[in-house]
Amino acid sequence: MTDKLWGFEEFVAGMKGRPTAAGPAITGISIDSRTVQPGDAFFAIRGDRFDGHRFVGAAAGHGATVAVVASDQLAGLGRMTIPLVVVQDVLEALQELARASRARSTARIAAVTGSVGKTSTKEMLGHVLSGQGATHFSPASFNNHWGVPLTLSRMPADARFAVFEIGMNHAGEITPLVAQVRPHVAIITNIEAVHLEFFPDGIDGIARAKAEIFSGVEPGGSVILNGDSPQFERLALLAMDSGINHVLSFGTGRDCDARLEALDMQPDHSRVSARILDQLVEFTIGAPGRHLVQNALAVLLAVAQMGGDVGEAALALGDLSAPKGRGARHELVVGEGRATLIDESYNASPTSMRAAITVLAQARTEGAGRRIAVLGDMRELGDDTLRLHAELVEPLTAAGIDRVYAAGPSMLALWEVLPDAMRGHYAETSNELEAILLDELAAGDVVMVKGSNGSRMAPIVETLKIRFASAPVESDPATEGPV
Protein backbone atom coordinates (compact mmCIF):
# COMPACT_ATOMS: atom_id res chain seq x y z
CA MET A 1 0.00 0.00 0.00
CA THR A 2 1.25 3.51 -0.85
CA ASP A 3 2.14 6.22 1.69
CA LYS A 4 -0.28 8.74 0.17
CA LEU A 5 -3.75 8.15 1.52
CA TRP A 6 -5.61 11.07 -0.09
CA GLY A 7 -4.67 13.74 -2.58
CA PHE A 8 -5.67 17.12 -1.14
CA GLU A 9 -8.27 17.93 -3.79
CA GLU A 10 -9.73 14.41 -3.55
CA PHE A 11 -9.80 14.72 0.23
CA VAL A 12 -11.70 18.03 0.15
CA ALA A 13 -14.13 16.81 -2.51
CA GLY A 14 -14.81 13.59 -0.59
CA MET A 15 -16.31 15.51 2.32
CA LYS A 16 -17.69 18.42 0.27
CA GLY A 17 -15.61 20.86 2.32
CA ARG A 18 -14.29 24.39 1.74
CA PRO A 19 -10.50 24.77 2.06
CA THR A 20 -8.97 27.98 3.37
CA ALA A 21 -5.83 27.30 1.34
CA ALA A 22 -4.25 24.63 -0.84
CA GLY A 23 -2.68 21.76 1.06
CA PRO A 24 -0.42 18.73 0.61
CA ALA A 25 -1.34 15.09 0.14
CA ILE A 26 -2.75 13.39 3.22
CA THR A 27 -0.91 10.38 4.68
CA GLY A 28 -3.15 9.67 7.66
CA ILE A 29 -6.41 10.57 9.44
CA SER A 30 -6.60 11.43 13.15
CA ILE A 31 -9.27 12.52 15.62
CA ASP A 32 -6.91 12.57 18.61
CA SER A 33 -4.31 15.36 18.89
CA ARG A 34 -2.21 13.17 21.20
CA THR A 35 -1.60 10.55 18.51
CA VAL A 36 -1.27 12.79 15.45
CA GLN A 37 1.54 11.81 13.09
CA PRO A 38 3.29 14.09 10.57
CA GLY A 39 1.18 14.26 7.41
CA ASP A 40 -2.14 13.55 9.16
CA ALA A 41 -5.40 15.39 8.62
CA PHE A 42 -6.91 16.21 12.01
CA PHE A 43 -10.71 16.09 12.36
CA ALA A 44 -11.84 18.35 15.22
CA ILE A 45 -14.73 16.18 16.39
CA ARG A 46 -16.85 17.14 19.37
CA GLY A 47 -16.56 14.09 21.63
CA ASP A 48 -18.36 13.13 24.82
CA ARG A 49 -15.82 14.94 26.99
CA PHE A 50 -13.85 17.25 24.71
CA ASP A 51 -14.33 19.45 21.68
CA GLY A 52 -11.57 18.77 19.17
CA HIS A 53 -11.53 22.43 18.13
CA ARG A 54 -9.66 23.14 21.37
CA PHE A 55 -6.79 20.95 20.13
CA VAL A 56 -6.30 22.09 16.54
CA GLY A 57 -3.16 24.01 17.52
CA ALA A 58 -1.77 20.99 19.37
CA ALA A 59 -2.46 18.78 16.37
CA ALA A 60 -0.60 21.20 14.11
CA GLY A 61 2.29 21.20 16.56
CA HIS A 62 2.49 17.41 16.32
CA GLY A 63 2.70 17.48 12.53
CA ALA A 64 -0.88 17.62 11.22
CA THR A 65 -0.83 19.25 7.79
CA VAL A 66 -4.53 20.11 7.62
CA ALA A 67 -7.46 20.31 10.04
CA VAL A 68 -11.16 19.79 9.37
CA VAL A 69 -13.25 22.22 11.41
CA ALA A 70 -16.88 23.27 11.79
CA SER A 71 -17.95 26.56 10.22
CA ASP A 72 -19.45 27.82 13.49
CA GLN A 73 -16.08 27.37 15.23
CA LEU A 74 -13.91 29.00 12.58
CA ALA A 75 -13.94 32.52 14.04
CA GLY A 76 -12.77 31.30 17.44
CA LEU A 77 -9.73 29.45 16.11
CA GLY A 78 -7.64 32.53 15.36
CA ARG A 79 -4.68 32.43 13.02
CA MET A 80 -3.66 28.88 12.06
CA THR A 81 -0.34 27.71 10.64
CA ILE A 82 -1.94 24.93 8.56
CA PRO A 83 -4.76 24.91 5.97
CA LEU A 84 -8.27 24.29 7.26
CA VAL A 85 -11.14 22.50 5.57
CA VAL A 86 -14.40 24.06 6.71
CA VAL A 87 -17.53 21.88 6.96
CA GLN A 88 -20.89 22.19 8.65
CA ASP A 89 -20.41 19.19 10.96
CA VAL A 90 -17.03 17.50 11.44
CA LEU A 91 -18.31 14.01 12.29
CA GLU A 92 -20.64 14.09 9.28
CA ALA A 93 -17.67 15.16 7.14
CA LEU A 94 -15.70 12.14 8.39
CA GLN A 95 -18.63 9.93 7.46
CA GLU A 96 -18.75 11.50 3.99
CA LEU A 97 -15.03 10.82 3.54
CA ALA A 98 -15.64 7.23 4.68
CA ARG A 99 -18.28 6.78 1.98
CA ALA A 100 -15.90 8.25 -0.59
CA SER A 101 -13.22 5.81 0.54
CA ARG A 102 -15.59 2.89 0.15
CA ALA A 103 -16.69 4.09 -3.28
CA ARG A 104 -13.13 4.18 -4.64
CA SER A 105 -12.10 0.82 -3.15
CA THR A 106 -11.83 -2.47 -5.02
CA ALA A 107 -11.03 -4.43 -1.83
CA ARG A 108 -12.92 -7.52 -0.74
CA ILE A 109 -14.49 -6.42 2.52
CA ALA A 110 -15.69 -8.28 5.62
CA ALA A 111 -17.66 -6.89 8.56
CA VAL A 112 -17.83 -8.59 11.95
CA THR A 113 -20.40 -8.19 14.69
CA GLY A 114 -21.65 -10.34 17.58
CA SER A 115 -22.22 -10.20 21.31
CA VAL A 116 -18.69 -11.34 22.14
CA GLY A 117 -15.61 -12.15 20.08
CA LYS A 118 -15.95 -9.30 17.54
CA THR A 119 -12.51 -7.85 18.07
CA SER A 120 -10.62 -11.14 18.31
CA THR A 121 -12.35 -12.37 15.14
CA LYS A 122 -11.57 -9.12 13.32
CA GLU A 123 -7.93 -9.31 14.45
CA MET A 124 -7.67 -12.96 13.46
CA LEU A 125 -9.14 -12.39 10.00
CA GLY A 126 -6.96 -9.34 9.42
CA HIS A 127 -3.90 -11.30 10.54
CA VAL A 128 -4.40 -14.24 8.19
CA LEU A 129 -5.30 -12.07 5.20
CA SER A 130 -2.27 -9.82 5.67
CA GLY A 131 -0.01 -12.55 4.37
CA GLN A 132 -2.04 -12.79 1.15
CA GLY A 133 -2.23 -9.16 0.09
CA ALA A 134 -2.47 -5.58 1.31
CA THR A 135 -5.00 -5.76 4.16
CA HIS A 136 -6.63 -2.93 6.11
CA PHE A 137 -8.18 -3.27 9.57
CA SER A 138 -8.33 -1.11 12.67
CA PRO A 139 -5.69 -1.44 15.41
CA ALA A 140 -8.34 -1.47 18.16
CA SER A 141 -12.11 -1.80 18.69
CA PHE A 142 -13.09 1.09 16.43
CA ASN A 143 -16.64 -0.18 16.06
CA ASN A 144 -18.90 2.79 16.86
CA HIS A 145 -20.24 5.95 15.20
CA TRP A 146 -16.78 7.55 14.94
CA GLY A 147 -14.62 4.40 14.89
CA VAL A 148 -16.15 2.86 11.76
CA PRO A 149 -15.90 5.98 9.55
CA LEU A 150 -12.41 6.66 10.92
CA THR A 151 -11.29 3.16 9.90
CA LEU A 152 -12.96 3.49 6.49
CA SER A 153 -11.41 6.89 5.79
CA ARG A 154 -7.98 5.40 6.56
CA MET A 155 -8.42 2.57 4.03
CA PRO A 156 -5.80 2.87 1.26
CA ALA A 157 -7.17 2.87 -2.26
CA ASP A 158 -5.00 -0.11 -3.21
CA ALA A 159 -6.02 -2.43 -0.34
CA ARG A 160 -6.86 -5.95 -1.51
CA PHE A 161 -8.73 -6.92 1.67
CA ALA A 162 -10.35 -4.97 4.50
CA VAL A 163 -11.98 -6.08 7.76
CA PHE A 164 -14.29 -3.93 9.88
CA GLU A 165 -15.77 -4.43 13.33
CA ILE A 166 -19.29 -3.12 13.95
CA GLY A 167 -20.68 -2.87 17.48
CA MET A 168 -23.85 -1.69 19.18
CA ASN A 169 -25.57 -1.50 22.54
CA HIS A 170 -28.90 -0.16 21.23
CA ALA A 171 -31.15 -1.16 18.37
CA GLY A 172 -30.62 0.90 15.22
CA GLU A 173 -26.89 1.50 15.67
CA ILE A 174 -25.58 -1.07 13.19
CA THR A 175 -27.71 -0.01 10.19
CA PRO A 176 -25.99 3.33 9.44
CA LEU A 177 -22.54 1.85 10.09
CA VAL A 178 -22.90 -1.14 7.78
CA ALA A 179 -24.34 1.18 5.13
CA GLN A 180 -20.93 2.88 5.10
CA VAL A 181 -18.92 -0.36 5.07
CA ARG A 182 -21.01 -2.30 2.49
CA PRO A 183 -19.27 -5.65 3.13
CA HIS A 184 -19.10 -8.58 0.77
CA VAL A 185 -19.03 -10.91 3.79
CA ALA A 186 -20.78 -10.35 7.13
CA ILE A 187 -19.98 -12.45 10.21
CA ILE A 188 -22.10 -12.70 13.37
CA THR A 189 -19.96 -14.47 15.97
CA ASN A 190 -22.80 -15.22 18.40
CA ILE A 191 -25.84 -13.82 20.21
CA GLU A 192 -25.52 -13.66 23.99
CA ALA A 193 -26.88 -11.86 27.05
CA VAL A 194 -24.95 -8.61 26.55
CA HIS A 195 -26.35 -5.04 26.88
CA LEU A 196 -29.54 -6.49 28.38
CA GLU A 197 -30.13 -3.15 30.09
CA PHE A 198 -31.09 -1.70 26.70
CA PHE A 199 -33.07 -4.71 25.44
CA PRO A 200 -36.20 -5.36 27.51
CA ASP A 201 -37.11 -8.22 25.16
CA GLY A 202 -33.77 -9.91 25.90
CA ILE A 203 -32.01 -12.19 23.45
CA ASP A 204 -34.69 -11.75 20.78
CA GLY A 205 -34.07 -8.01 20.68
CA ILE A 206 -30.30 -8.49 20.59
CA ALA A 207 -30.64 -10.92 17.66
CA ARG A 208 -32.75 -8.43 15.69
CA ALA A 209 -30.26 -5.65 16.38
CA LYS A 210 -27.29 -7.76 15.26
CA ALA A 211 -29.21 -8.80 12.15
CA GLU A 212 -29.15 -5.17 11.03
CA ILE A 213 -25.74 -6.01 9.55
CA PHE A 214 -27.55 -7.87 6.74
CA SER A 215 -28.97 -4.58 5.45
CA GLY A 216 -25.57 -3.43 4.17
CA VAL A 217 -24.25 -6.62 2.55
CA GLU A 218 -23.37 -6.11 -1.09
CA PRO A 219 -25.54 -7.88 -3.71
CA GLY A 220 -24.32 -11.45 -4.12
CA GLY A 221 -22.55 -11.30 -0.75
CA SER A 222 -22.38 -13.90 2.02
CA VAL A 223 -23.40 -14.16 5.65
CA ILE A 224 -21.51 -16.39 8.10
CA LEU A 225 -23.41 -17.47 11.23
CA ASN A 226 -22.72 -19.58 14.31
CA GLY A 227 -24.37 -22.91 13.56
CA ASP A 228 -24.21 -23.95 17.23
CA SER A 229 -26.21 -20.93 18.34
CA PRO A 230 -29.90 -21.31 19.27
CA GLN A 231 -30.41 -18.15 17.21
CA PHE A 232 -29.01 -19.65 14.00
CA GLU A 233 -32.28 -20.46 12.25
CA ARG A 234 -33.78 -17.12 13.13
CA LEU A 235 -30.75 -15.20 11.89
CA ALA A 236 -30.63 -17.26 8.71
CA LEU A 237 -34.27 -16.39 7.97
CA LEU A 238 -33.62 -12.70 8.67
CA ALA A 239 -30.66 -12.83 6.26
CA MET A 240 -32.79 -14.36 3.54
CA ASP A 241 -35.52 -11.80 4.20
CA SER A 242 -32.84 -9.18 3.50
CA GLY A 243 -32.22 -10.73 0.08
CA ILE A 244 -29.08 -12.68 1.02
CA ASN A 245 -29.09 -16.14 -0.54
CA HIS A 246 -25.63 -17.28 0.53
CA VAL A 247 -25.88 -18.13 4.25
CA LEU A 248 -23.01 -20.20 5.68
CA SER A 249 -22.48 -21.71 9.12
CA PHE A 250 -19.60 -22.64 11.42
CA GLY A 251 -19.55 -24.90 14.46
CA THR A 252 -19.67 -28.54 15.45
CA GLY A 253 -22.85 -29.66 13.72
CA ARG A 254 -22.73 -32.10 10.81
CA ASP A 255 -24.32 -29.57 8.45
CA CYS A 256 -21.94 -26.71 9.26
CA ASP A 257 -19.99 -25.37 6.29
CA ALA A 258 -16.96 -24.92 8.57
CA ARG A 259 -17.08 -27.92 10.92
CA LEU A 260 -14.84 -28.77 13.84
CA GLU A 261 -13.62 -32.36 13.49
CA ALA A 262 -11.11 -32.69 16.35
CA LEU A 263 -9.61 -30.44 19.02
CA ASP A 264 -6.61 -30.73 21.32
CA MET A 265 -6.57 -27.79 23.75
CA GLN A 266 -3.27 -26.97 25.45
CA PRO A 267 -2.49 -24.30 28.09
CA ASP A 268 -0.98 -21.94 25.51
CA HIS A 269 -2.34 -23.11 22.15
CA SER A 270 -4.88 -25.37 20.44
CA ARG A 271 -4.46 -27.99 17.71
CA VAL A 272 -7.45 -28.20 15.41
CA SER A 273 -8.75 -30.39 12.64
CA ALA A 274 -11.64 -28.87 10.70
CA ARG A 275 -13.47 -29.23 7.41
CA ILE A 276 -13.84 -25.88 5.67
CA LEU A 277 -16.39 -26.44 2.91
CA ASP A 278 -14.88 -29.49 1.15
CA GLN A 279 -11.32 -29.01 2.42
CA LEU A 280 -9.90 -30.83 5.47
CA VAL A 281 -7.54 -28.45 7.26
CA GLU A 282 -5.31 -29.17 10.25
CA PHE A 283 -3.77 -26.21 12.03
CA THR A 284 -2.54 -24.74 15.30
CA ILE A 285 -3.87 -21.58 16.94
CA GLY A 286 -1.07 -19.81 18.79
CA ALA A 287 -3.31 -18.74 21.69
CA PRO A 288 -5.51 -20.82 24.01
CA GLY A 289 -9.27 -20.98 24.37
CA ARG A 290 -12.24 -22.83 22.89
CA HIS A 291 -13.79 -19.51 21.90
CA LEU A 292 -10.80 -18.76 19.63
CA VAL A 293 -11.25 -22.13 17.94
CA GLN A 294 -14.86 -21.24 17.16
CA ASN A 295 -13.80 -17.84 15.85
CA ALA A 296 -11.12 -19.47 13.67
CA LEU A 297 -13.76 -21.56 11.89
CA ALA A 298 -15.64 -18.38 10.97
CA VAL A 299 -12.40 -16.73 9.87
CA LEU A 300 -11.38 -19.55 7.53
CA LEU A 301 -14.85 -19.62 6.03
CA ALA A 302 -14.61 -15.85 5.45
CA VAL A 303 -11.21 -16.26 3.78
CA ALA A 304 -12.76 -18.70 1.32
CA GLN A 305 -15.58 -16.25 0.53
CA MET A 306 -13.13 -13.36 0.08
CA GLY A 307 -11.04 -15.19 -2.49
CA GLY A 308 -8.14 -16.01 -0.17
CA ASP A 309 -6.19 -19.22 0.31
CA VAL A 310 -7.69 -21.23 3.19
CA GLY A 311 -4.65 -23.45 3.69
CA GLU A 312 -2.29 -20.47 3.87
CA ALA A 313 -4.65 -18.70 6.27
CA ALA A 314 -4.82 -21.78 8.52
CA LEU A 315 -1.03 -21.92 8.66
CA ALA A 316 -0.90 -18.24 9.67
CA LEU A 317 -3.10 -18.95 12.72
CA GLY A 318 -0.07 -20.57 14.37
CA ASP A 319 1.54 -17.12 14.61
CA LEU A 320 -1.46 -15.67 16.40
CA SER A 321 -1.07 -14.22 19.88
CA ALA A 322 -3.80 -12.92 22.15
CA PRO A 323 -4.08 -9.10 22.05
CA LYS A 324 -3.94 -6.69 24.99
CA GLY A 325 -7.01 -7.00 27.20
CA ARG A 326 -8.18 -10.17 25.44
CA GLY A 327 -5.96 -12.91 26.80
CA ALA A 328 -2.47 -11.42 26.38
CA ARG A 329 0.01 -13.16 28.71
CA HIS A 330 2.82 -11.56 30.71
CA GLU A 331 5.54 -13.10 32.83
CA LEU A 332 5.85 -11.54 36.29
CA VAL A 333 8.92 -11.75 38.50
CA VAL A 334 7.73 -12.48 42.04
CA GLY A 335 10.51 -12.84 44.61
CA GLU A 336 12.85 -15.57 43.40
CA GLY A 337 10.25 -17.08 41.10
CA ARG A 338 7.80 -16.30 38.33
CA ALA A 339 4.05 -15.87 37.98
CA THR A 340 1.83 -15.56 34.92
CA LEU A 341 -0.62 -12.73 34.24
CA ILE A 342 -3.50 -13.28 31.80
CA ASP A 343 -4.89 -9.92 30.73
CA GLU A 344 -8.62 -10.19 29.96
CA SER A 345 -9.34 -6.69 31.20
CA TYR A 346 -10.80 -5.14 28.06
CA ASN A 347 -14.45 -6.00 28.70
CA ALA A 348 -16.73 -8.65 30.17
CA SER A 349 -20.05 -10.41 29.74
CA PRO A 350 -21.36 -13.66 31.26
CA THR A 351 -20.23 -15.58 28.18
CA SER A 352 -16.76 -14.06 27.93
CA MET A 353 -16.29 -14.46 31.70
CA ARG A 354 -16.93 -18.18 31.40
CA ALA A 355 -14.54 -18.45 28.47
CA ALA A 356 -11.80 -16.64 30.41
CA ILE A 357 -12.34 -18.86 33.46
CA THR A 358 -11.88 -21.90 31.23
CA VAL A 359 -8.60 -20.50 29.90
CA LEU A 360 -7.43 -19.87 33.49
CA ALA A 361 -8.31 -23.44 34.43
CA GLN A 362 -6.11 -24.78 31.63
CA ALA A 363 -3.12 -22.60 32.55
CA ARG A 364 -0.11 -24.28 34.17
CA THR A 365 0.89 -23.23 37.66
CA GLU A 366 4.33 -23.94 39.16
CA GLY A 367 5.10 -25.48 42.52
CA ALA A 368 2.54 -24.34 45.09
CA GLY A 369 1.12 -21.79 42.67
CA ARG A 370 -2.58 -21.01 42.55
CA ARG A 371 -5.06 -20.12 39.82
CA ILE A 372 -6.42 -16.70 40.78
CA ALA A 373 -9.38 -14.92 39.19
CA VAL A 374 -9.54 -11.15 39.70
CA LEU A 375 -13.02 -10.11 38.60
CA GLY A 376 -14.74 -6.75 38.21
CA ASP A 377 -18.38 -5.93 37.55
CA MET A 378 -20.08 -6.83 34.27
CA ARG A 379 -22.08 -3.83 33.07
CA GLU A 380 -25.34 -3.27 31.13
CA LEU A 381 -27.06 -6.47 32.29
CA GLY A 382 -30.26 -4.81 33.49
CA ASP A 383 -32.57 -6.59 35.94
CA ASP A 384 -30.54 -9.81 35.69
CA THR A 385 -27.31 -8.20 36.91
CA LEU A 386 -27.06 -9.75 40.37
CA ARG A 387 -28.23 -13.19 39.24
CA LEU A 388 -25.73 -13.32 36.38
CA HIS A 389 -22.88 -12.32 38.69
CA ALA A 390 -23.84 -14.91 41.31
CA GLU A 391 -24.06 -17.65 38.66
CA LEU A 392 -20.35 -17.29 37.95
CA VAL A 393 -19.78 -19.44 41.03
CA GLU A 394 -20.66 -22.47 38.88
CA PRO A 395 -17.87 -22.16 36.27
CA LEU A 396 -15.39 -21.02 38.93
CA THR A 397 -16.10 -24.08 41.05
CA ALA A 398 -16.16 -26.46 38.09
CA ALA A 399 -12.80 -25.08 36.91
CA GLY A 400 -11.22 -25.57 40.33
CA ILE A 401 -10.13 -21.94 40.65
CA ASP A 402 -8.18 -21.51 43.88
CA ARG A 403 -8.84 -17.87 44.77
CA VAL A 404 -11.24 -15.16 43.63
CA TYR A 405 -10.60 -11.47 44.17
CA ALA A 406 -13.71 -9.42 43.36
CA ALA A 407 -14.39 -5.71 42.94
CA GLY A 408 -17.58 -3.75 42.45
CA PRO A 409 -21.13 -3.64 43.87
CA SER A 410 -22.45 -6.27 41.46
CA MET A 411 -19.58 -8.67 42.19
CA LEU A 412 -20.74 -8.69 45.80
CA ALA A 413 -23.49 -11.06 44.63
CA LEU A 414 -20.80 -13.53 43.53
CA TRP A 415 -18.70 -12.99 46.64
CA GLU A 416 -21.63 -13.91 48.90
CA VAL A 417 -22.06 -17.34 47.28
CA LEU A 418 -18.39 -18.28 46.90
CA PRO A 419 -17.10 -21.17 49.02
CA ASP A 420 -14.96 -19.87 51.90
CA ALA A 421 -11.86 -21.63 50.58
CA MET A 422 -12.14 -19.77 47.28
CA ARG A 423 -12.44 -16.30 48.79
CA GLY A 424 -9.41 -14.09 48.31
CA HIS A 425 -10.69 -10.58 48.94
CA TYR A 426 -13.65 -8.34 48.07
CA ALA A 427 -13.56 -4.55 47.63
CA GLU A 428 -16.00 -1.98 46.33
CA THR A 429 -13.50 -0.64 43.77
CA SER A 430 -10.66 -2.08 41.75
CA ASN A 431 -8.31 0.51 43.25
CA GLU A 432 -8.93 -0.88 46.75
CA LEU A 433 -8.38 -4.42 45.51
CA GLU A 434 -5.08 -3.62 43.84
CA ALA A 435 -2.97 -3.19 46.99
CA ILE A 436 -4.29 -6.45 48.48
CA LEU A 437 -3.47 -8.41 45.34
CA LEU A 438 0.05 -6.95 45.13
CA ASP A 439 0.78 -8.18 48.64
CA GLU A 440 -0.68 -11.65 48.18
CA LEU A 441 0.59 -12.68 44.73
CA ALA A 442 3.17 -15.47 45.00
CA ALA A 443 5.65 -17.25 42.75
CA GLY A 444 4.02 -19.97 40.65
CA ASP A 445 0.61 -18.28 40.57
CA VAL A 446 -1.43 -17.68 37.44
CA VAL A 447 -3.65 -14.60 37.79
CA MET A 448 -6.39 -13.66 35.33
CA VAL A 449 -7.92 -10.15 35.42
CA LYS A 450 -11.30 -9.46 33.83
CA GLY A 451 -14.16 -6.99 34.04
CA SER A 452 -16.21 -4.53 32.00
CA ASN A 453 -14.45 -1.34 30.98
CA GLY A 454 -16.30 0.69 33.56
CA SER A 455 -15.07 -1.55 36.38
CA ARG A 456 -11.51 -0.24 35.84
CA MET A 457 -9.66 -3.57 35.88
CA ALA A 458 -7.07 -2.56 33.25
CA PRO A 459 -5.12 -0.41 35.77
CA ILE A 460 -4.63 -3.53 37.92
CA VAL A 461 -3.00 -5.21 34.94
CA GLU A 462 -0.67 -2.27 34.34
CA THR A 463 0.29 -2.08 38.03
CA LEU A 464 1.10 -5.81 38.13
CA LYS A 465 3.23 -5.50 34.99
CA ILE A 466 5.19 -2.59 36.45
CA ARG A 467 5.53 -3.91 40.02
CA PHE A 468 6.70 -7.37 38.95
CA ALA A 469 8.51 -6.50 35.71
CA SER A 470 11.80 -8.16 34.82
CA ALA A 471 12.56 -5.17 32.57
CA PRO A 472 11.13 -1.64 32.25
CA VAL A 473 7.56 -1.71 30.97
CA GLU A 474 6.71 0.72 28.19
CA SER A 475 3.54 2.63 28.86
CA ASP A 476 0.71 1.97 26.44
CA PRO A 477 -0.28 4.80 24.09
CA ALA A 478 -3.43 6.69 24.98
CA THR A 479 -6.61 5.10 23.72
CA GLU A 480 -7.61 6.97 20.58
CA GLY A 481 -10.73 9.05 20.80
CA PRO A 482 -12.02 12.49 19.87
CA VAL A 483 -9.54 14.91 21.52
3-class SS at 202?
Answer: coil
The total number of residues shown for the chain amounts to 483
Binding site annotation covers 120?
Answer: yes
Q: Tell me the domains of the chain and their CATH numbers.
A: 8-90 (3.40.1390.10), 105-319 (3.40.1190.10), 328-467 (3.90.190.20)
Q: What is the DSSP letter of 26?
A: B
Round to whole Å and give the CA distance between 137 and 124: 10
Q: What is the pTM of this model?
A: 0.83
- Phi first, then psi, for residue 320 (nearest 5°) are -70, 140
Strands 423-427 and 185-188: unpaired
Residue 345 in marked binding region: no
**pLDDT, position 472:** 41
Separation CA 481–CA 35 (nearest Å): 10
Query: Which amino acid is it at 355?
Result: A
Cβ atoms within 10 A of the Cβ of 255, count?
8
pLDDT at res. 475 = 39
pLDDT of residue 470: 65
Q: Is 115 annotated as a binding residue?
A: yes
pLDDT in the model for residue 289: 85
- pLDDT score of 481: 65
101 assigned binding-site residue: no
Q: How far is CA 114 from the centre of its chain?
A: 11
C-alpha to C-alpha distance for 55 and 52, rounded to whole angstroms: 5
Predicted local distance difference test score (pLDDT) of residue 334:
93
How much is the pLDDT for 247? 98
| Residues 6 or more apart whose Cβ sits within 8 Å of residue 444 | 337, 338, 339, 365, 366, 367, 368, 369, 370
Spell out the per-residue pLDDT of the chain, length 483, in tens: 448 999 999 999 999 999 999 999 999 999 999 999 999 999 999 987 889 999 999 999 999 999 999 999 998 898 889 999 999 999 999 999 999 999 999 999 999 999 888 999 999 999 999 999 999 998 877 899 999 999 999 999 999 999 999 999 889 999 999 999 999 999 999 998 776 677 777 888 899 999 999 999 999 999 999 999 999 999 999 999 999 999 999 999 999 999 999 999 888 889 999 999 989 999 999 988 888 999 999 999 999 999 999 999 999 999 888 777 788 899 999 988 999 999 999 888 898 899 999 999 999 999 999 999 999 999 988 888 999 999 999 999 999 999 999 999 999 999 999 999 999 999 999 999 999 999 999 999 999 999 998 899 999 999 999 999 864 444 343 356 665
On whether 122 is known to bind a ligand per the annotation, the reply is no
pLDDT of 28 reads 97
Other CB atoms closer than 10 Å to residue 247's CB: what's the count?
A: 18
Contacts of 316 (CB under 8 A, 6+ apart): 127, 128, 131
Helices 430-440 and 458-467: crossing angle in degrees, nearest 10, is 30
On whether 117 is known to bind a ligand per the annotation, the reply is yes
Cα 222-223-229 angle, rounded to 5 deg: 155
For the chain, the farthest-separated pair of C-alpha atoms sits apart, in whole angstroms, at: 70
